[in-house]
Structure 1
Amino acid sequence: MRQDDLYINKIDWITIGIYASLVIIGWFNIYAAVYDEQAAKSIFDFSINSGKQLVWIGTALLLITVIMVADYRLFENLSIILYGVFVIFLLITPFFGKEINGQRAWFEIGAFRLQPAEFAKFATALALAKFMERPSFDLSQVKYQLQALAIIMIPVSLIMLQPDTGTAMVYSAFFVMLYREGMPQRYYVLGLTFITISLLALGIENNLYLVIGVAVVLGVLNFMGKKSLRRSLSLLAIGAVVIGYSYSLDFVVSKLPTHQQNRIMVLFNPDLDPLGVGWNVTQSKIAIGSGGFWGKGYLEGTQTKFDFVPEQHTDFIFCTLGEEFGWVGSIVVVFLFCSLLIRLIILAERQKNRFSRVYGYCVISLLLFHFLINIAMTIGLFPVVGIPLPFFSYGGSSLWSFTILLFIFIKLDSHRIQFLGRMN
């Protein structure tokens, strides 16, 4: 057997099958989201989104071919160069990009648009893997933690200049990978504490209630523990920090753009202005709920036909699925995503070198974040932040970037034995 044939046999076809299933189901749902019964067009019509998405799918297949025939060492060798190239693209985007809805996040090429921030995700993942593969790299040491953080924060800072808060937020997903690679748990405890306090501060309208709650909790803790002046002062200091932070957060939120304030308000009060700021989420939940158990049937969604849900072919594509295929269809897609994530974890854990494992967990982290946030957003559990559903939402940048992200890892996995040979 030739060496090339050996590596073809090592390709994980299960992962590729799940990928193909999600892309195909997503394509049919994109057509459903733009379907007009009065002027029905073919799903292959290039004048509508489903036809354009078919072009993106076809070009994605070309990208897959290029990745799979390329030398697997190319991605490791070019990782820093690719990172630098996309950092430059992010740097110039606010100046030369196409402005859409107040954001300069796209380059327009004829009838198509490309979003550099989407492609910077896989470049950042490669750069992190390259830096962290060094034997001396140890996330228990502060200097290495700062290095990893710098690699993540450079693109985040540039994306915020566009400004695109939703995409910038996605880069926090890399902390899932950092946890797997040994980042101290205390940072995650502090992070969860920070998130909990933030939610309480934003969700409780009167901060006086929060002050009373903090005082009661700390009073109970002081009573239960061993009495000492040092302990009491420490608890008092913690209480002061929490209360001070809650008031500071209110001040920061008050300085955010109005549309971002409205999204936060709707999260904690879903019935707030259902015909205004709460329209998107309200209509999305109506669409999903109206699908019932089996759904209304393909191309039979009334919320879709009458265009009640804005951006239904992109950020809110999941509500099209929920309305037309119901609970059953939604569970099938959720199962596919969960299966993909579980499969990728299995692949990541069987890697023979740190570069491939780190990159694999970067892929897992990004897909998990998009999957959870997008669905949570459509059912009102998270503010609307404009995050697409991987392989499902309409858009070339999204499909291309996730395809490249995934298939680089599939390529690395198919050469895991060869990586072992290099190590030996």
Structure 2
Amino acid sequence: MNRERGFFLNIDWITVLIYLALCVIGWFNIHAAVYDETHPSIIDPATNYGKQFIFILVSVSVAMVLLLLDYRFFSALAPPFYIITILLLILVLVIGRNVGGNQAWISLGGGFRLQPSEFAKFTTCLLLAKYLSGTNIKITDTESFWISAGIILLPMTLIMLQPDVGSTLVFCSLIFVLYREGLSPYFLIIIGLFITLFVSSLLINQWLLLGILTIVAALLATFNLRNRKFLFTLITGFILCAAFAMAVKPIYNNILQPHHRARIDELLGITTDLRGAGYNVNQSKIAIGSGQLWGKGYLQGTQTKYSFVPEQSTDFIFCTVGEEWGFAGSVVVIGLFLFLLLRVIMIAERQQMTFSRIYGYGVASIIFFHVLINIAMTIGLMPVIGIPLPFISYGGSSLLSFTILLFILIKLDASRTGYA
């Protein structure tokens, strides 16, 4: 009895309360986003807000089950969980249902669908934590690095084949996990450099960009002529950067979907199409701006009520917050996410097991990426890539997968002192 009481007290209830608050906020905003006067009840299962209520009940039930499991269960079954997810990602390419240009859902009947890419996030985190916490595994070793990279890249590749660019890019956030475990910061610098080159290649003539790279390389070489190792690294880096810069436009024009290119072009100012690619973001910004300080009030948003913003209950749910709750409500929601991220990082750092710490940083990385990109794209700072706002956007697969992702960490944390 004392052991059970100790475990109960050891649960991070602050994190649990933040989770519940975000779920309730999401539920009410979904109700506002797709409100139907013929179905006024917020728990009516014939509506999306009624279904979201069911998803919340299911997710909370799953969370309770996770807290009752032995913490060693997650480490022991990380490989089979990962394999099952990979098989589902392959299966969805064969029998998946195409929605919005992405073959990412498996139909379960009754209007419910399963999105395997959502569950791949926590299974990838589990296997990555399992591998990196192994004996004599160091991310600085070449073999360990490439195995870790392979764990991340395999689901990314399968998801890209759907093609779901948004969900694919989420896995890039796991680079922060590798960095926390000892990966050189130069990798982050290199990633930043290639992102800059990518954007520059779209905005600047490729031959002009190549000329700029040549001048920069020549200037750097002038100050280090006697350092052969530096010169070799510089020449290698110049060749790679030049090749990448020259390849960006062919890849951009032939691999990315037309709607993805249109959204990026709109964001970068290459084109302006407020009735086409830029319509969603423009309407979203109008909705958020019209909320001003305190918002228009619950169920009073005109942009929301008259469906000016497409996908408002999913990808653009934050503009409902902005319009009806105003700047104050938006700050509250963003504040809750920041508080959650700080709690997750704090939980990760106090873990005694390496597995739990690594997994904790995986949770923080994925939630941070989702929140940053989703909110940034609703206010026009990022291209629209179609990823949900955790715990708030409509969707059973999204809510359940984020719940599992978070509550596995809460269970690992509750067990850190040996109560379970």
TM-score, reference length from structure 1: 0.93
Q: 1:45 is matched with which residue?
A: 44
Q: 1:413 is matched with which residue?
A: 413
Distance of 2:39 and 2:134 partners within structure 1? 57
Distance of 1:236 and 1:357 partners within structure 2? 39
TM-superposed CA distance for 1:103, in Å, is: 2.1
TM-superposed CA distance for 1:271, in Å, is: 6.6
Q: 1:97 is matched with which residue?
A: 96
What are the within-5 Å matches in structure 2 for residues 85-164 of structure 1? 85-110=84-109, 111-164=111-164
Q: 1:73 is matched with which residue?
A: 72
Percent of aligned positions that are identical: 46
Distance of 2:131 and 2:85 partners within structure 1? 17
Distance of 1:278 and 1:313 partners within structure 2? 18
Q: 1:61 is matched with which residue?
A: 60
Q: 1:342 is matched with which residue?
A: 342
Q: 1:294 is matched with which residue?
A: 294
What is the DSSP-based 3-state SS (H/G/I as helix, E as strand, rest coil) of the residue aligned with 2:309? coil
Distance of 2:380 and 2:72 partners within structure 1? 43
AA in 2 matched with 1:248 = A
Which one is further off, 288-297 or 396-405? Answer: 288-297
TM-superposed CA distance for 1:210, in Å, is: 2.9
What are the within-5 Å matches in structure 2 for residues 303-318 of structure 1? 303-318=303-318
CA contact (8 A) 2:224 2:231 kept: no
TM-superposed CA distance for 1:222, in Å, is: 5.3
CA contact (8 A) 2:71 2:412 kept: yes
CA contact (8 A) 1:270 1:380 kept: no
AA in 2 matched with 1:347 = I
Distance of 1:292 and 1:73 partners within structure 2? 49
Distance of 1:217 and 1:29 partners within structure 2? 50
Distance of 1:354 and 1:261 partners within structure 2? 41
TM-superposed CA distance for 1:280, in Å, is: 0.9
What is the DSSP-based 3-state SS (H/G/I as helix, E as strand, rest coil) of the residue aligned with 1:47? coil
- 1:100-144 CA-partner distances (Å, limit 9, x unpaired): 223221111121111011111111111111111113010110000
CA RMSD of aligned residues (A): 2.1
Distance of 1:227 and 1:73 partners within structure 2? 56
- 1:257-303 CA-partner distances (Å, limit 9, x unpaired): 21121111011018711111111111111111111111111111111
AA in 2 matched with 1:141 = D
TM-superposed CA distance for 1:243, in Å, is: 4.0
What are the within-5 Å matches in structure 2 for residues 177-256 of structure 1? 177-204=177-204, 206-211=205-210, 213-215=212-214, 217-218=216-217, 220-221=219-220, 225=223, 241-255=240-254, 256=256
AA in 2 matched with 1:307 = S
Q: 2:333 is matched with which residue?
A: 333
What is the DSSP-based 3-state SS (H/G/I as helix, E as strand, rest coil) of the residue aligned with 1:105? strand
TM-superposed CA distance for 1:203, in Å, is: 2.9
Question: Are the structure 2 counterparts of residues 149 and 232 from structure 1 closer, same or farther at C-alpha, using a change threshold of 3 Å?
Answer: closer
CA contact (8 A) 1:373 1:382 kept: yes
CA contact (8 A) 1:79 1:123 kept: yes
AA in 1 matched with 2:58 = T
AA in 2 matched with 1:89 = L
Unaligned segments of structure 2, at least 5 residues: none
Question: Are the structure 2 counterparts of residues 270 and 400 from structure 1 closer, same or farther at C-alpha, using a change threshold of 3 Å?
Answer: farther
Unaligned segments of structure 1, at least 5 residues: none
Q: 2:9 is matched with which residue?
A: 9
TM-superposed CA distance for 1:211, in Å, is: 4.1
Alignment partner of 1:258 is 2:258: yes
Distance of 1:365 and 1:307 partners within structure 2? 33
Q: 1:82 is matched with which residue?
A: 81
CA contact (8 A) 2:174 2:365 kept: yes
